[in-house]
Amino acid sequence: MSILEIIKYPDPRLHEKSSPIEVFDDKLLQTTKDMGETMHSARGIGLAGVQVAIMKQILVIDISDMDEEESDSEERSKKLRSFLPENVETYINPKITKFVGETSYEEGCLSIPGVYGKVKRAESIVLEYNDPEGNLIEEEAEGLRAIVLQHEIDHLNGVLFTDRVGPMQKMMLLKKYKKLQQDKDEGL
Catalytic residue among 37, 89, 107, 152: 152
Nearest to 125 by CA among 111, 144, 105, 104: 144
Non-local (6+) Cβ contacts of 107 within 8 A are 73, 116, 117, 118, 119, 147, 151, 161
Number of Cβ within a 10 Å radius of residue 143: 13
Cross-strand partners of 59: 48, 91
d(CA 23, CA 9): 29
φ and ψ at 156, to 5 degrees? -65, -20
Whether residue 152 lies in the annotated active site:
yes
Where would I find the H helices in 43-92? 73-78
- Indicate which residues carry an active-site annotation: 152
